């Protein structure tokens, strides 16, 4: 399909067959924003996605400008290709969201596997639930990953999957491998019974081709290094790595030649260019023009040097990311902040670049 004027050509999706997208990233990189954008991108063209939050921050509700999400799945957005700035028509899809409440998830788990029913409510009253999720090793993470995997596998009365894709806004990169791999430890501790069976079922989903773990980064040294280390840990644990989501990318204002030459003495060249641009005012006297321009030269040259340093730093960080040999998607810095319109814009970029 040919793009309309001003649009980049759209790539084929990189993640056909993936039903569970786990999105992690170093704090401050915008992982919740990109998880939401990915859910929108995956929902376009008549699909239904579920966006799951596991950290209890209600970041999804804030992004979409809605009330705090309860522990139930509810529709939060409709999306069509046209809303994402994509060419062509096509049916719209839906994004549903769920903020997982650990306490409610444990009661649901106890009822599902141990048929406790009202007894589970009684345990809640005496503080057992709080004790179990706080003290018992890994119980909280088991519940969170288990709920996401259940949603990814769930089928409706017609036998079809309830959701075409599930996107999890997961914990930060520093603990994502332990978070996803905790069921392996639980399965080893509980050799038999429903806990063992459930943990094994969750790990089958998490380590299958139907799952991909994407990491969000910025073109800065610490986030890039944490991303590289994060993918290495995921691979060592046998977890399926996804793509690199590079967020808040600023366009370079200088080309490669200008960056290479920025450290030279360019005062006269810049002064001449400013004069030709009319920054010296209407006077035709050279001394008057120069007097007006001179105060601008050093600040402009300092800014050019700072910009060139940033471009070189980002080039080095891109080279490090390329060593991962993974699909990489670059999302622009939205100077006005991320409102709902910005979220749809990021979703369109992910769609065009093949992330969905």
**Residue 4 scores a pLDDT above 80:** no
Model confidence at 6, pLDDT cuts 50, 70, 90, reads very low
Q: How far is CA 322 from CA 32, 246, 259, 326, 327, in A?
A: 24, 12, 22, 7, 9
Task: Please say whether the beta carbons of 234 and 241 come within 8 A.
Answer: yes
Task: Please say whether the beta carbons of 42 and 164 come within 8 A.
Answer: yes
State the pairing for strand pair 20-25/74-79: unpaired
Rounded CA separation 272/105 (Å): 69
User: At 239, is the secondary structure helix, strand, or coil?
Assistant: coil
Question: Which of the residue ranges 107-116, 141-150, 201-210 would you say has the lowest mean pLDDT?
Answer: 107-116
Q: Which of 31, 2, 341, 10 is nearest to 213 (CA)?
A: 31
**Residue 135 scores a pLDDT above 50:** no
What pLDDT is stored for residue 77 in this prediction?
A: 96
Q: Which of 209, 200, 201 is nearest to 242 (CA)?
A: 209
CB atoms closer than 10 angstroms to residue 273: 13
Which residue bears the tokens 């503080």? 127
Helix axes 128-135, 102-114, angle to 10 degrees: 100
Rounded CA separation 141/134 (Å): 11
Which residues are 215's β-sheet partners? Answer: 24, 244
Q: Is pLDDT larger for residue 273 or for residue 157?
A: 157
**Residue 258 scores a pLDDT above 80:** no
**Residue 8 scores a pLDDT above 80:** no
Task: Please say whether the beta carbons of 244 and 56 come within 8 A.
Answer: no
Considering only CA atoms, give the Rg of the chain: 25
What pLDDT is stored for residue 323 in this prediction?
A: 97
What pLDDT is stored for residue 35 in this prediction?
A: 98
C-alpha triplet 220, 222, 223: angle, nearest 5°? 70
Rounded CA separation 285/1 (Å): 57
Q: DSSP state, 14? A: S
Q: Is pLDDT larger for residue 255 or for residue 144?
A: 144
Model confidence at 5, pLDDT cuts 50, 70, 90, reads very low
Question: Which of the residue ranges 56-65, 149-158, 259-268 would you say has the lowest mean pLDDT?
Answer: 259-268
* Structure tokens that stand for 235 in this block: 């691979």
Could you tell me which residues come within 8 angstroms of residue 11 by beta carbon, excluding any fewer than 6 positions away? Answer: 352, 353, 354
What pLDDT is stored for residue 312 in this prediction?
A: 85
Q: How far is CA 189 from CA 6, 136, 181, 182, 192, in A?
A: 57, 12, 13, 11, 9
In tens, the pLDDT along 269-293 reads 666 666 666 666 555 666 666 676 7
Range 56-75 average pLDDT: 93
What pLDDT is stored for residue 254 in this prediction?
A: 66
What pLDDT is stored for residue 15 in this prediction?
A: 96
Model confidence at 143, pLDDT cuts 50, 70, 90, reads confident
* Structure tokens that stand for 118 in this block: 């009202």
CB atoms closer than 10 angstroms to residue 275: 16
Range 68-94 average pLDDT: 90
In tens, the pLDDT along 179-193 reads 999 877 665 555 556
Rounded CA separation 3/87 (Å): 6
Range 10-18 average pLDDT: 88
111 burial (CB, 10 Å; 0-12 / 13-18 / 19+) is: middle
Name the most confidently modeled range: 229-233, 262-266, 338-342: 229-233
What pLDDT is stored for residue 283 in this prediction?
A: 56
* Structure tokens that stand for 31 in this block: 């992982």
State the pairing for strand pair 328-332/93-99: unpaired
Q: Is pLDDT larger for residue 66 or for residue 269?
A: 66
Going from the N-terminus, what domains does the chain have, and what CATH number goes with each? 20-250+333-352 (3.40.50.300), 256-312 (no CATH)
Identify each DSSP E strand in 184-310 by its residue range.
211-217, 241-249
**Residue 13 scores a pLDDT above 60:** yes
Helix axes 173-189, 139-153, angle to 10 degrees: 90
What pLDDT is stored for residue 149 in this prediction?
A: 93
What pLDDT is stored for residue 90 in this prediction?
A: 73
């Amino acid at each position: 399909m040919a793009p309309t004027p001003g649009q980049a050509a759209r790539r084929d999706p990189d993640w056909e067959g993936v039903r569970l997208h786990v999105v992690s990233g170093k704090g401050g990189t915008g992982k919740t924003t990109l998880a939401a954008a990915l859910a929108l991108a995956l929902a376009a063209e008549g699909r239904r996605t579920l966006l799951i939050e596991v950290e209890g921050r209600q970041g999804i509700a804030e992004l979409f400008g809605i009330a705090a999400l309860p522990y139930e799945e509810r529709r939060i957005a409709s999306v069509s290709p046209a809303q994402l700035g994509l060419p062509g028509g096509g049916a719209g899809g839906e994004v549903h969201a769920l903020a997982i409440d650990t306490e409610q998830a444990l009661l649901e788990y106890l009822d599902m596997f141990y048929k406790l029913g009202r007894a589970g409510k009684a345990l809640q009253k005496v503080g057992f639930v709080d004790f179990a999720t706080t003290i018992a090793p890994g119980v909280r993470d088991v519940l969170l990953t288990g709920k996401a995997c259940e949603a990814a596998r769930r089928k409706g009365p017609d036998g079809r999957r309830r959701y075409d894709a599930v996107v999890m806004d997961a914990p930060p990169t520093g603990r994502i491998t332990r978070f996803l791999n905790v069921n392996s430890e639980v399965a080893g501790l509980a050799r038999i019974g429903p806990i063992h069976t459930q943990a094994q079922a969750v790990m089958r989903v998490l380590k299958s081709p139907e799952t991909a773990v994407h990491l969000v980064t910025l073109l800065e040294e610490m986030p890039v290094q944490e991303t590289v280390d994060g993918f290495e840990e995921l691979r060592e644990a046998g977890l399926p790595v996804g793509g690199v989501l590079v967020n808040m990318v600023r366009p370079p204002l200088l080309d490669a030649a200008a960056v290479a030459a920025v450290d030279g003495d360019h005062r006269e060249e810049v002064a001449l260019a400013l004069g030709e641009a009319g920054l010296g005012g209407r006077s035709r006297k050279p001394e008057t023009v120069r007097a007006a321009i001179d105060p601008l030269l050093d600040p402009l040259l300092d800014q050019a040097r700072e910009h060139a340093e940033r471009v070189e730093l980002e080039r080095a960080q891109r080279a490090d990311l390329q060593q991962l040999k993974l699909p990489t998607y670059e999302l622009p810095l939205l100077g006005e902040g991320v409102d709902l319109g910005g979220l749809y814009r990021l979703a369109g970029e992910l769609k065009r670049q093949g992330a969905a």
